[in-house]
Copies of this chain bind each other. A is one copy, B any other.
Amino acid sequence: MIKATVYVTIKQSVLDPQGVAVQGALHSMGFQEVDSVRIGKYLEINLDTDNREEAEAKVTEMCEKLLANTVVEQYRFELEG
């Protein structure tokens, strides 16, 4: 069993409206020291394989095809186990 941890984030050059909204909410709650907020997705995927190379190829394919919209998002992942 291999555990993949995937991070999908909006590219730096793309506006993150959810982050801007959370930043505004934090400011209005008195957290004036918040300079910027960016929000992404965090996925834990358990894979029923012990072959690391296969797992890496499969997770890359999942990210490209479903998990990330590579036009505006970037992804990275780590494998464990």
Binding site for B on A (CB under 8 A): 1, 7-9, 19, 22, 25-26, 29, 31-49, 55, 58, 61-62, 65-67
Contact A40 B38 (CB under 8 A): no
Among the listed B43, B48, B61, which residue makes an inter-chain contact with A22, where contact means beta carbons less than 8 Å apart? B43
Some 23 contacts from A to B, beta carbons below 8 A apart, are: A7-B42, A8-B42, A9-B44, A22-B66, A22-B67, A26-B62, A26-B66, A29-B65, A29-B66, A31-B58, A33-B47, A33-B49, A34-B45, A34-B48, A35-B46, A37-B45, A38-B44, A39-B43, A40-B41, A40-B43, A40-B44, A41-B41, A41-B42
Among the listed B22, B41, B61, which residue makes an inter-chain contact with A39, where contact means beta carbons less than 8 Å apart? B41
